[in-house]
Amino acid sequence: MEHLKKINMRILIMLLLATQIQAQINSCDSITYWTDQGQGLHVGIDTSTIPNGFDSLNIYWGVCNSSLCYAGSGINSFFGQITTSDTIKVCYNIILYTANTFETCPEYCDSLIYDGFSWVLFSMGNPVGIVEIQNKINNNKMYDLFGREILRPKGLYIQNNKIKYER
């Protein structure tokens, strides 16, 4: 009987720890950031979205354009090297601290472009299908491999959507 109580107590402690870990992971999900609308890139964490109960936090930023990546830290950070003609990737890591523990949020990244007014999410979307263009022209004209019309074929050429060869 005593043995079962120890096992049940261990299971209870494990369940409590799992519940606490799950609650901590969810606290990172609500954190958001902002950007400004000017030259260079100002970024910052929206502190109103940080869950209650945390004493302090560390934030580490990474911003990359097509050629280089830049690092920053703090609630707000400025990247003067970024221009509005860049397509950029903004990433941040957050560590939340409480009295005797800390929580590391997973790295979060977005790709952004400047639309003339502000930085917006850049998304290629999710393609749902590819439709091939059906352009069947059978006019007996002959074309070289660059798509230029030819009158007398020599070597490889295209006629009626077929590759042909003439010596």
115 and 142 within one domain: no
116 and 87 within one domain: yes
Q: Is residue 5 situated within a structural domain? A: no
- Please say whether the beta carbons of 81 and 70 come within 8 A: yes
- Please say whether the beta carbons of 70 and 79 come within 8 A: yes
Q: Is this prediction's pTM over 0.75?
A: no
- Our count of domains for the chain comes to 2
The fraction of the chain above a pLDDT of 70, given in percent, is 74
State how far the Cα of 105 lies from the Cα of 95, in Å rounded to an integer.
Answer: 6
Residue 149 sits in which domain range? Answer: 133-167
State how far the Cα of 71 lies from the Cα of 68, in Å rounded to an integer.
Answer: 10
Q: What is the pLDDT of residues 81-132, one digit of tens each?
A: 888 888 889 999 988 888 888 888 888 888 888 888 888 887 766 666 666 6
Q: Is residue 83 situated within a structural domain? A: yes
Q: Is residue 150 situated within a structural domain? A: yes
139 and 80 within one domain: no
Q: What CATH number has the domain bearing residue 67?
A: 2.60.40
pLDDT at 21 over 70: no
